[in-house]
Amino acid sequence: MTVERIVPADRAAWLAARGRDVTASQIGALFGEHEYVTLFSLWGLKTGRIPREEEETPAMQRGRLLEPVAVQMLRERFPRWKIEHNAAENVYFRDPEARMGATPDVIATAKDRGGKGVVQIKSVEASIFKRKWLDQDGEVEPPLWIALQATLEAHLVGARWAAVAPLVVGHGLDMPLIDIPLVDGVVDAMKAKVAEFWAMIEEGREPTPDFARDADAIEAIYHADEEAEADLTGDNRIMALLAERAFAKEAIGKYGKLLDALDAEIKSKLGNATVAHLPGGRKITWRSSKREGFFVGPKTVRVLKVPTPKE
């Protein structure tokens, strides 16, 4: 395997380099394990059917701004490690034959760990960390797509070990270091999935969308052609879809009214109070919130927030 080490001149060059490959941050989509990216949306991105995002999202900005904090915490916790923060050069490592690439956050050299390793940094809000990163026994278990990301980064960098460091942001800062085992066969499985993906694109095939997750991707890919009409008279699925949609719309109307009635009853119990205390230390709030108006003047409304009942 020959790995190219690319130092991009700017963000545009970095995005262009990544566009040729399936990157470590996307690899989980090929296994159906990514939290944000599906096979269909990745296909749309790599075929140019979905425009590439040039601007930072708020989540990306949060990660970029907090990453130096996480690196400093690593340096304070592991003073004997040689820690290289990749943000300065934003080096992109790629396997041109496999068309896979990665931009690791941290490359660290630790004698007690056998040499070179990679550390993938994630910034996570405390409640999300508790919900998505802890198993039933309260043990830390990173989402699989993040473990796959760290594994591919380690492979491309030639690292002996890999870890993930979630910077948990709450009233304070916490950052556990989670080792990611480099399991034999995982990278080979990645290469096979990536090869299948690029072959699908080269052959002009289109993956089936995940309709529960790909609504935005479908909107982005298919554009209105005022001259085009579709013949669905022989489509056996379309009538069932219309029936299911009618049922769902009726259920929304029915249960939407029930939800309004339940909220009204809860509000009547609070009356003028803005907070109601519940068993177990939980609470309901019904506070005032000012909403800006665009076509009418601003107004103040009360927003009801209730906890989800525990099983």
More confident residue, 82 or 63: 82
- 72 and 189 assigned to the same domain: yes
Q: Using only C-alpha atoms, what is the Rg of the chain?
A: 24
Residue 170 lies in a domain: yes
Residue 261 bridge partners (DSSP): none
- 264 and 182 assigned to the same domain: no
Last residue of a domain, one of 174, 202, 230: 202
Q: What is the structure's pLDDT at 294?
A: 47
- 22 and 140 assigned to the same domain: yes
- Asked if residues 152 and 164 have their Cβ atoms less than 8 Å apart, the reply is no
pLDDT band at 290 (very low <50, low <70, confident <90, very high): low
Say whether pLDDT at 106 is over 90.
Answer: yes
- pLDDT tens digit sequence for 150-167: 999 999 999 999 999 999
- 37 and 157 assigned to the same domain: yes
Residue 119 lies in a domain: yes
Residue 38 lies in a domain: yes
Residue 232 lies in a domain: no
pLDDT band at 311 (very low <50, low <70, confident <90, very high): very low
Residue 243 lies in a domain: no
Say whether pLDDT at 54 is over 70.
Answer: no
Least confident of 11-15, 29-33, 295-299: 295-299
- 161 and 295 assigned to the same domain: no
Q: What is the structure's pLDDT at 137?
A: 83
Say whether pLDDT at 296 is over 70.
Answer: no
Residue 310 lies in a domain: yes
- 160 and 307 assigned to the same domain: no
Residue 308 lies in a domain: yes
Domain extent at residue 110: 4-202
Q: What is the structure's pLDDT at 302?
A: 76
- 180 and 95 assigned to the same domain: yes
Q: What is the structure's pLDDT at 119?
A: 97
Q: What is the structure's pLDDT at 299?
A: 65
Q: CATH number for the domain including 95? A: 3.90.320.10
- 85 and 181 assigned to the same domain: yes
- pLDDT tens digit sequence for 172-228: 889 999 999 999 999 999 999 999 999 999 999 999 999 999 999 999 998 888 888
pTM value is 0.80
Q: How many CB atoms lie within 10 A of CB 49?
A: 16
**Averaged pLDDT, 241-262:** 89
| Residue percentage of the chain with pLDDT more than 70 | 95
**Averaged pLDDT, 282-294:** 73
Total domains in the chain come to 2
Residue 235 lies in a domain: no
Say whether pLDDT at 297 is over 60.
Answer: no
**The 3-state secondary structure of 5-67, one letter per residue:** EECCCCHHHHHHHHHCCEECCCHHHHHCCCCCCCHHHHHHHHCCCCCCCCCCCHHHHHHHHHH
Last residue of a domain, one of 182, 202, 222: 202
- 266 and 196 assigned to the same domain: no
User: Exposed/middle/buried for 149, CB within 10 Å: 0-12, 13-18, 19+?
Assistant: buried
Least confident of 132-141, 230-239, 270-279, 297-306: 297-306
- 44 and 182 assigned to the same domain: yes
Say whether pLDDT at 1 is over 90.
Answer: no
| Residue percentage of the chain with pLDDT more than 90 | 62
Last residue of a domain, one of 166, 187, 202: 202
- 53 and 176 assigned to the same domain: yes
Say whether pLDDT at 13 is over 50.
Answer: yes
Q: What is the structure's pLDDT at 292?
A: 57
Say whether pLDDT at 310 is over 70.
Answer: no
- Residue 115 has phi, psi (to 5 degrees) of 120, -135
- 143 and 284 assigned to the same domain: no
